[in-house]
Amino acid sequence: MAKAHQINPERARWLEVLGVSMPLCLSYLPIGVACGILLNAAGMNFVLTFLVSIMVFSGGAQFTLASLLVSNAPITSIFMTLFFLELRYALLGSSLSRYMRNESQKSILIFSASMNDENYAINYLKFVTDKNWTAKDALLVEYYSLASWATGNLLGGLIGSAVQIDLVIVDFALTALFIYMIVMQVRQRLTLLIGLLSAGLSIYFLTLVKSTLGIILATVLASFVGFLIENRVRRYAKDPDHTWILGKLFRPSSTRNTVEDRQHIKKQEAAQAKEQEGSETVDAKDNGE
């Protein structure tokens, strides 16, 4: 029973999930080291950098914290800056909540505490495309990424300023991760259009409000436009799934079907089989009489 939900019962589940989170863990390690180095330069020893990485667990927030400490910002402004920086997680949490409905209060508390842009991205993708993905697996992804992040921070705190790291290159690992996520997300023309819209809006809002609040504004607005358009099309089109805007984009054959598609096909087949069965029994009855 315990093994029933596994993708490949030959392999242990934790190994399977580790494989899924490995690319993230490997990119977190050097960024964590860089973050530890910066926090160390801002006056924290390696125990403290390790502690921050576990308690805050957010790249953006920790890098910002280092700069705030160096500029001797008051504690209230540290709190406000970080709070607005982290406000986008309100959106992430809300969008994952539909997959966490059956979880206990305690596990939601634990899950949300170590949620992050990157492990959210992995978990969201898995929840959408893999129907066997459970909240437990999602939590495991968070813990693996936390472990590599904390290790990086600890190492960075220990090394201090002895090593120079090219942050531009290291930081691009995360950008690449998000580009991968975008490519995986885009399955309809509408998703692509919303992505482009969000790109434009984010440039506009980021340069306008001069803070990461711009990301939140762009995300809320672009996603709402996506919802509005889909809603209109579904209401007024005769065959919404085959309209141009909701039509599927071409993908290489191996990536064309999502889990939902396959489920849909299976359901249709099952319905057909049932129909046939039904007609056969009717035939049998007819013959009997």
Partner 1 sequence: MAWINTFNLAEASALIPSHHNLTYHLIVIVISAIAAFVPRYFPMRFFTNRKIPEWFNEWMKYVPISLFTALVIKGIFISSDYGLVQDHVKLLGNIMIYGHAGQIVAAIFVAITAYFTRSMAASVLVGLVGVWLFGLFL
93 binds partner 1 (CB under 8 A): yes
Please state, in angstroms and rounded to a whole number, the distance separating the CA atoms of residues 261 and 184.
15
Q: How many CB atoms lie within 10 A of CB 129?
A: 12
Please report whether residue 227 would count as binding partner 1 according to CB under 8 A: yes
Q: Is residue 51 part of the contact set for partner 1 (CB under 8 A)?
A: yes
Question: Binding residues for partner 1, how many (CB under 8 A)?
Answer: 113
**Structure token digits, residue 20:** 């899924």
Site for partner 1 in 128-187 (CB under 8 A): 161, 167-169, 171-186
Q: Is residue 198 a contact residue for partner 1 (CB under 8 A)?
A: yes
Q: For the CB of residue 265, give the shortest distance to partner 1 in the complex, in Å.
A: 20
Per-residue HEC secondary structure of 62-79 comes to HHHHHHHHHCCCCHHHHH
Contact between 268 and partner 1 per CB under 8 A: no
- Per CB under 8 A, does 56 bind partner 1? yes
Contact between 207 and partner 1 per CB under 8 A: yes
Among 6, 67, 272, 276, binds partner 1 (CB under 8 A): 67
Provide, rounded to whole angstroms, the least separation between the CB of residue 137 and partner 1.
Answer: 16
Among 130, 143, 230, 233, binds partner 1 (CB under 8 A): 230
Q: How far is CA 156 from CA 32, 37, 60, 75, 151, in A?
A: 7, 5, 16, 24, 9
Which of 18, 136, 159, 195 forms a contact with partner 1 (CB under 8 A)? 195
Binding positions for partner 1, 236-265, rule CB under 8 A: 251-252, 254-255
Q: Indicate which single residue of 17, 29, 38, 141 sits in contact with partner 1 (rule: CB under 8 A).
A: 38
Q: How far apart are CA 125 and CA 115, in angstroms?
A: 14
Here the tokens at position 14 are: 């934790």
Closer CB to partner 1, residue 70 or residue 282?
70
Q: Is 72 in the site for partner 1 (CB under 8 A)?
A: yes
Q: DSSP letters along 217-228, please?
A: HHHHHHHHHHHH
Give the closest residue to 40 by CA, choosing from 125, 154, 206: 154
Of 69 and 158, which has the nearer Cβ to partner 1?
A: 69
User: DSSP of 146-205, one letter per residue?
Assistant: HHHHHHHHHHHHHHGGGS---HHHHHHHHHHHHHHHHHHH--BHHHHHHHHHHHHHHHHH
Binding track over 102-131 against partner 1, x by CB under 8 A: -x-x--xx-xxx-x-x---xx-x-------
CA-wise closest residue to 246 among 260, 256, 233, 255: 233
Segment lying near partner 1 (by CB under 8 A), choices 31-39, 137-145, 240-248, 275-283: 31-39
Q: Is 8 in the site for partner 1 (CB under 8 A)?
A: no
> Closest approach of Cβ 256 to partner 1, in Å?
11
Q: How far is the CB of 245 from partner 1 (least distance, A)?
A: 13
Between residues 223 and 243, which has the closer beta carbon with respect to partner 1?
Answer: 223
| Locus of tokens 């998703």 | 191
Inter-residue contact 124 to 253 (CB < 8 Å): no
Whole-number Cα distances in Å, 218 to 17, 205, 267: 32, 7, 38
One residue of 43, 132, 247, 274 binding partner 1 per CB under 8 A: 43
